[in-house]
Structure 1
């Protein structure tokens, strides 16, 4: 579902068998320096979050997805705050400027976690000169630092 949603911004199509690429999933589940989370709404799976660079100088929210049925309910915001809290330090979160929902969402997350202490810049997409630059938000957050709020039930990430 995540790759299907992203295809609206990167023009990707599924393979001949109907599946989208799965390299990020494979890396998140088996790669060193990655953390993968299955987001829940009560007992139901509601999305995912993949973080790369765990233990490095900056954590990158490599992938973040919330099922359409629970978007706008606070599930994503609670989960994003929880994932950041689990990995204190420098964060970088890329998204597409054309994805207006992501633009609003990640700016809100940055403001709630880091107050006014966050930056935003545009960076080229590696290997894809045909795409407009991604927007990258950067901040320091996590742990029990100022501005970090614990998520309210029923949404919380659970390690797979």
Structure 2
């Protein structure tokens, strides 16, 4: 990113659902490379697309769901989907990072960190971010980015129980 690149984070409007659906295809594609050999998940259908994300429509109809679009210089560059779902059996959170994606062109240039810090500033509360054990890049990114946010406290890492979640779960409070 050059110093002149403008990052923006906007609440997605219902008419932007097709944009999120398109970005979701790239997100799912990235996850597909993490599937173990022999897996039947993350297969392309007869039209060359992945199955649609099953909860996307709920982001405009259910309370507590927040769809956000990340842009660089006005161009779509990623998204964040926030909900209140906990990945722990006994967990309660106000905010959960349901999905988070930055297009490959914009990775490693500060957009993801900027977006997370902006999101935490706009949406305070008790947060949870669950990381799939197989997502090695995310396991490195999330704890560093969370700890670098200036408005977080009570940071704790919990291991998923293997039933509700497999992988680390980060909980914290954003003020």
Summarize deviations over 1:104-131 as a string: whole Å, max 9, x none: 21011221126673111222354xxxxx
The aligned runs of 1:1-160 (5 Å cut-off) are 1-10=26-35, 11-17=41-47, 18-53=49-84, 57-113=93-149, 117-123=154-160, 124=162, 126=164, 133-141=166-174, 145=175
Paired residues of 1:97 and 1:135 also in contact (CA < 8 A) = yes
Equivalent pairs, count:
136
Gaps of 5+ in 2: 1-25, 36-40, 86-91
Over 3 Å counting, the alpha-carbon distance change for 1:122 and 1:49 in structure 2 is same
In the alignment, the residues of structure 2 paired with residue 51 and residue 102 of structure 1 have an alpha-carbon distance, to the nearest angstrom, of: 17
> After the TM superposition, which segments of 4 or more aligned residues of structure 1 sit over 4 Å from their partners?
none
Q: Structure 1 length as normaliser, TM-score?
A: 0.74
Gaps of 5+ in 1: 127-131, 146-160
The secondary structure found in structure 2 opposite 1:15 is coil
In the alignment, the residues of structure 2 paired with residue 34 and residue 90 of structure 1 have an alpha-carbon distance, to the nearest angstrom, of: 15
Over 3 Å counting, the alpha-carbon distance change for 1:57 and 1:117 in structure 2 is closer
Larger Rg computed on CA atoms: 2
Paired residues of 1:122 and 1:135 also in contact (CA < 8 A) = yes
The structure whose RCO (Cα within 8 Å, separation 6+) is larger is 1
Paired residues of 2:130 and 2:169 also in contact (CA < 8 A) = yes
Q: Structure 2 length as normaliser, TM-score?
A: 0.68
